[in-house]
Chains A and B, each alone.
Chain A
Amino acid sequence: MSVAGFIRDILPLLWSGTISGCLYGVGALGLVMVFKSSRVVNFSHGNLACLGAFVVFGFSSGSLLSLSWASAVALALGIACAIAVMSYAVIAPIVFKSDLASTIATLGVGLILQGAVQLVFGADIVNLDLPVPRFNFSLGAIRVSSYDLAVLVVTLAIVGSLFVIIERTKLGVAFRAVSTNPFACEVCGLNLRSVHLFSWLAGAVLGLVAALLIVPTTFLSSTTVPSFMLQAFTAAVVGGFSSLPGAAVGGILVGVAMNLFSFYVAPEFMNTFLLGVILLTLNFFPNGLLERAIGGRV
């Protein structure tokens, strides 16, 4: 491999890794929010996002209805939020008693959602594009597409508004308090359930947004989105699993690392690579790669 070739390849790889990494980060933020507030690892995250993406497809492509893309997304958001509330209602009786049992219950919810997607939409592979005008331009060695810009804009908007909510609103203060010390919050009369519900709703929205943005790069089927969530889980682990900035940065790190691995080593061993990343991170940086740099808390 020549040096010139390396330089020609590396910039586009870093760029596209960052773009997909943003989406892994958004997916991871949903997992971390749920985990921080309710101490549950939400294994139904990917299945819910998958269902939401299929709802958008079904309502905008004409297979169920032929609405405009925006109204289909609004409907999908509504449905995803309703399901998130129901999922939380299912585990609500045991959420304070056993993290383990609640986590197992989310797997059950995930299986139900998975079955529902297969029942309604079958095992088909479909395309679901973003309704953005197509254009490209070059920035040095990097080719920037309208899709890349859309991802960046949406990610910044959603992470920014999440940040504002958590830093500036009463709900955000309550969320931070509950994730620091739930017992003290209860003593102070804070309603833990409403904070849990907020984080589950936020998780559902973040998951759906990430799924809608990642699907145009591959395709939509009943298995792609749930397995895409492995990237989100890895990003969360790299970020320490209880740090929101960690999850966002972890997403970008995972995106870049995956791109480099698939280009230079072996594209067919992506999940094995992620497994390796998870195990190495747990061994050497149990609190996340960024523990020293930004601390474990928001």
Chain B
Amino acid sequence: MAVSDLAHASKVSASARGGHVDIARLSVLALVAVLALLPLLAGGFLLYSLSLSIANAVAVLSVSMLVRYGGEVSIGHSFFVALGAYAVAIVEHRLGLSIAVSLPLAILLGAGGGFIFAFPSRRLSGIYLAVATMALALALPEILIGFEKFTGGFEGLYIAQDLVPGVSKALQRYYVTLVVLIVVCLALAHFRKSAQGLALLMAQAQPRAAEAMGITRSWARISIFTVSAALASLAGALTGFASSTVSPNSFTFFSGVFLLVGSVVSLNRLSLPAALVGGAFITLVPTYLAKAGDWVPILYGVALVAVTLAANAGDLRRFVPGRRAR
């Protein structure tokens, strides 16, 4: 199949760039080493917020992936994050099982939810999906409160079980989330070069060419959203595990918008450093600017507008005399 040829070609060109790849790889490895050693320096509340930032970084990646591969915005990914978080909490409460069981379950639930949600707007332009995700984000709080029997209502549920016995709670939260984030980044990097990843990118960039190869646009849209929602749900499971609690307070309408803010601030990139920047931005800013509460939405709004304008202003060069973008 032609797409696998493309995949091969892109692998070849990536390795032909040799030098650059090595420098990039080395710096990412250095970053991983720093992250792995961080608990030696930081402890207590800082380590806790770092664990949450890492969990949120996975959520940011899920939104970025949707933008990158699907060209679509979602402000309702908080729904899938909540799905994963509550899956972990409810499995522990009802069945007494740890995250080892509920993490895969969360991924499956997220994928299923994403598929059902993306299916109706499969043939429509992305704005319809964006509007539908707004409804998703607004419906989430009332679902969480309405199904009190399962979700614990306003108070939420606690998550107490450890994954690795004998390791302190703080370290466990940190290292489990970190390992999952690294695995997700590696998987995304691999996906970018795989035949499937290229096929999805082609369906976005050249829908007709893709269709000629048997990849319909609606199939591509549904599968991207499904994968993205599964990733968000995985991030939710991590968030629940890292914060040891789930409650409707952490899943308001704005949490979905904030995930998009994190994605935009990280320029929708799918790399480890970008995800960390996005995750840290949406986790640490509200934590450490708690006194300036009402300024947080303003700060996020300004960041969203400024980064969006700057990222798209590249095309402004067209207006400079003597230079043509195309």
Contact = CB atoms under 8 A, between A and B. Distances in A.
Interface of A: 35, 41, 43, 90, 93-94, 97-101, 103-105, 107-116, 118-119, 223, 226-227, 230, 233-234, 236-237, 241, 266, 268-272, 274-275, 278-280, 282-283, 286
Contacts of B72: 100
Contacts of B309: 90, 93-94, 105
A115 B126 CA distance: 27
Nearest to A119: B294
B127 A93 contact: no
Contacts, number: 148
A104 B124 contact: no
Given A105-B309, A268-B142, A272-B143, A111 B298 contact: yes
A278 B308 contact: no
Contacts of A234: 135
Contacts of B214: none
Interface string B239-262: 000000000000001000100110
Interface string B132-164: 101110110011011000000000000000000
A143 B84 CA distance: 47
B301 A111 contact: yes
A112 B298 contact: yes
B9 interface: no
B314 to A, nearest CB: 10
Contacts of A227: 138, 253
Interface of B: 67, 71-73, 75, 117, 119-121, 123-124, 126-128, 130-132, 134-136, 138-139, 142-143, 145-146, 253, 257, 260-261, 264, 293-305, 308-309, 311-313, 315-316
A279 B313 contact: no
A76 B132 CA distance: 30
Contacts of A35: 127
Contacts of A226: 253
Contact of B295 (A107, A115, A272): A115
A114 to B, nearest CB: 5
Contacts of B316: 93
Nearest to B67: A100
B171 to A, nearest CB: 35
Given A100-B126, A119-B295, A237-B131, A108 B303 contact: yes
A112 B305 contact: yes
